[in-house]
């Protein structure tokens, strides 16, 4: 070992301060994006508007609205299926927006020499 200790990193070169700043900025942007997504509401309707579900970005079901015309005592299963479909579609919308925002955020990331490690 050289006098004064080891001064490099195993990948060669020194620490790139620009990369550290870029990572910190991305972390702040991710936090802001997450807060925005969690506060948004996503809704989906099925059955021609018979059932509507609303979820938030935390994937919490906020409300379900059922048109009285959708209530058929002889076909409860259809109503149950519509509720499940509406909730699932609203959840997909929330997830899709989160994924799209994450892709936009990380798409601009320049990982330099670390890109091949991930």
CATH number for the domain that contains residue 66: 3.30.1310.10
Q: Is residue 20 part of a domain?
A: no
At residue 30, the pLDDT reads 84
Q: Is residue 114 part of a domain?
A: no
Rounded distance between C-alpha atoms, residue 116 and residue 23, angstroms = 17
Q: Is residue 14 part of a domain?
A: no
Q: Is residue 5 part of a domain?
A: no
User: Is the full-model pTM beyond 0.75?
Assistant: no
Q: Are 49 and 70 in contact (CB under 8 A)?
A: no
Domain residues for the domain of 55 are: 40-106
Q: Is residue 1 part of a domain?
A: no
Q: How many domains does the chain have?
A: 1
In sequence order, the 6+-apart residues with CB closer than 8 A to the CB of 10 are none
Determine the average pLDDT of the residues in 88-109.
84
Q: Is residue 13 part of a domain?
A: no
Q: Is residue 79 part of a domain?
A: yes
Q: Is residue 19 part of a domain?
A: no
At residue 27, the pLDDT reads 86
Strand order in the sheet with 51-56: 41-46, 51-56, 61-66
Q: Are 86 and 68 in contact (CB under 8 A)?
A: no
Rounded distance between C-alpha atoms, residue 36 and residue 86, angstroms = 23
Q: Of 105, 107, 118, which is closest to residue 34 (Cα–Cα)?
A: 105
Q: Are 42 and 55 in contact (CB under 8 A)?
A: yes
Determine the average pLDDT of the residues in 27-37.
86
């Amino acid at each position: 070992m050289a006098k004064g200790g080891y001064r490099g990193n195993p990948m060669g070169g020194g620490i790139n301060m620009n990369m550290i700043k870029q990572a910190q900025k991305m972390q702040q942007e991710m936090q802001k994006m997450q807060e925005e997504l969690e506060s948004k509401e996503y809704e989906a309707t099925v059955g021609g508007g018979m059932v509507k579900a609303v979820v938030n970005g935390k994937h919490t079901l906020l409300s379900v609205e059922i048109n009285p015309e959708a209530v058929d005592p002889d076909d409860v299963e259809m109503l149950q299926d519509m509720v499940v479909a509406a909730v699932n579609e609203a959840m997909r919308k929330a997830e899709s927006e989160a994924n799209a925002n994450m892709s936009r955020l990380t798409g601009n990331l320049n990982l330099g020499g670390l890109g091949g490690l991930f």
